[in-house]
Structure 1
Amino acid sequence: MLRCSDNLPTTLYTAEQVRALDACVIEQHGVPGIQLMLKASRALLSTLEIQWPDCRELQVFCGKGNNAGDAYLLAALAIERDYKVQLWQVGDVPQRGDALAARERAIAAGVSVKAWQGEQPTKGVIVDGLLGTGLQGEVRPRFADAIGAINRSGLPVLAVDVPSGLCSDSGQILGDAVHASVTVCFIGLKRGLFTGAAADCVGHLYFSDLEAPSTAYQNQVPAARHLRLDDCLSALPARARSAHKG
């Protein structure tokens, strides 16, 4: 189920915890990684159709990690729905695993894939599948250049799982970060989507647990919880109608 910002879970996790959740779903519950990517790509497409129902063109920026895999499969789905799709590969291509399989599916579906050479996108919706939760240290120059091009474009941006360059644990900008219009987060909400500079980067937040079994979460104690206004108000004592702030 796809949930939006007014109906999100309150539990927040670190990147390490979400990787453990992902591994649990794959290894203990027998869900192939590529199947999780397909579910993520469908959630991304649903979000696109909700947020930008008139959009028929995508500019998809990919790195080589698993969030790039989600973006590759989104591109393949979009081609099947008669979108015009240009996929820009930034840096190395995936060499193995589910991300490589997703890239091959995108190419087989007819997605146009080009190595990004500094082109400035000028139309459509941009999909940010550059960097995910595994980012360590500041964004490398090639990716920083791509992030700069995305931010300068003025186009709406859909970020896959976390805006590229934003630390998913702290919300710190690691040198440079995508300023997304919408972010779709998967498996578990990352703590860094609610802290630090996240408010400048995340945009409207959607969440999908990718139908992960509830038992996968039993051994993970949330790293934090985010408070809802209604919960805070309910904890306050009732105020008399004649009360005055003085």
Structure 2
Amino acid sequence: MLHSKPPFPDALYSAAQVRDLDARLIAAGTPGFELMQRAAHAAWRAIRRRWPEGRQLTVMAGRGNNAGDGYLIAALARRAGWRVNVLAVGDSDGLAGDARSAYEEAVAAHVDIQPWQQQALAGIVVDALLGTGLTGDVRAPYAAAIEAINEGGLPVVAVDLPSGLCADTGRTLGVAVRADLTVTFIGLKVGLFTGDAPELVGELVFDDLQADAEIIRQTPVSVKRLDTFNLPTLAPRSRVAHKGMFGRVLVVGGDRGFGGAALLATESTLRTGAGMVTLATRPEHISAALTRFPEVMSAGISSANQLLALIEPASVLVVGPGLGQHSWGKSLLSAAANAPLPQ
């Protein structure tokens, strides 16, 4: 399916950058509890879209703002007529600030809130245990709670990022939730795309929580994603263009046992738009080369002297894929290195 716009922003942030962005949005006039409510609504919409037949929710809640999101999601589900219970991992009396307000809203919505005591989980499980502030390995009782989520065999949605996943590196911090759906907010975290993230994040949904675009633009960015939407495109070629107008590339490589590397490099030169491509490789690899890409001029080379004639008309050399470390490869490398051409 063709998409008219990218699914995510290009910018990826560290955990500290997202916390700073959150603080600056609050300082600019958006209350923290308002942002938390927007996050809960975004997660609730994603849950209903992903599991339209769902009617039961179990929220595993920690003690920070991530837990606050979970309590508000529980309240929304309860008001929608779902069976909902919150299992509080750790003492809910330690909740403060916006997280405490979220807890009180869940209580007002008559959500069943119990301390987690290894109870069986049911319905769709909401991971609202640990947020972006986690730096060291997950400790008790959260490690056991994460294991229970992973072993439950139930649909799992992670709030902001799977608990136990490092927001900066994507590394598993001892143990991490394996989510089917992750709903993340305000800014995309680097760790949602790196390291172990592909195995843990599941489907990723992003919501900027209506954050002020100017504040976002002023926030430093750690890295940017490469995507078909932001990669530069090659200029269209003339309708009367021919291969002689787009350079000559000579690929040198493929010693015995390493022919595949040279073939892959040669195919890459064709895909990137080279006009005329020559492959200089061991004679025994020529049959495979002609079968794979008959448009390439494939030459069996036994010595550096034979390579010199191929170097002369080339405009660019690709030297090294599968070249090996024996005398054949060393002699070809020496001949190529002395050529006054881009390499």
What TM-score, normalized to structure 1? 0.92
Confirm whether residue 142 of structure 1 aligns to residue 103 of structure 2.
no
Q: Which residue in 2 is equivalent to 1:175?
A: 174
Mean alpha-carbon deviation: is it higher for 63-72 or for 223-232? 223-232
Q: Which residue in 2 is equivalent to 1:3?
A: none
CA distance in 2, matches of 1:107, 1:157: 23
What TM-score, normalized to structure 2? 0.66
Counterpart contact for 1:120–1:150, Cα < 8 Å:
no
Q: Which residue in 2 is equivalent to 1:103?
A: 103
Confirm whether residue 131 of structure 1 aligns to residue 134 of structure 2.
no
CA apart distance, 1:245: 11
Q: Which residue in 2 is equivalent to 1:164?
A: 163
Confirm whether residue 151 of structure 1 aligns to residue 150 of structure 2.
yes
Q: Which residue in 2 is equivalent to 1:17?
A: 17
Counterpart contact for 1:167–1:192, Cα < 8 Å:
yes
CA distance in 2, matches of 1:165, 1:238: 44
CA distance in 2, matches of 1:210, 1:39: 6
Question: Structure 2: 5+ residue runs without aligned partners?
Answer: 1-5, 235-270, 276-292, 299-343
> What secondary structure, in the 3-state scheme, does the structure 2 residue paired with 1:7 have?
coil
CA distance in 1, matches of 2:231, 2:213: 27
Question: Structure 1: 5+ residue runs without aligned partners?
Answer: 1-5
**1:192-230 deviations in Å (ceiling 9; x for gaps):** 001110111100000001000011123322101111246
Q: Deviating runs (4+, > 3 A) in structure 1?
A: 229-246
Counterpart contact for 2:171–2:196, Cα < 8 Å:
yes
Q: Which residue in 2 is equivalent to 1:49?
A: 48
> What secondary structure, in the 3-state scheme, does the structure 2 residue paired with 1:141 have?
coil
Q: Which residue in 2 is equivalent to 1:203?
A: 202
Q: Which residue in 2 is equivalent to 1:193?
A: 192
CA distance in 2, matches of 1:172, 1:148: 17
- Which structure is larger by alpha-carbon Rg, 1 or 2? 2
CA distance in 2, matches of 1:186, 1:25: 13
CA distance in 2, matches of 1:243, 1:70: 58
Q: 1:90 to 1:243 in 2, by over 3 A?
A: farther
| Structure 2 counterpart of 1:137, one-letter code | G
State the identity as a percent: 46
Q: Which residue in 2 is equivalent to 1:80?
A: 79
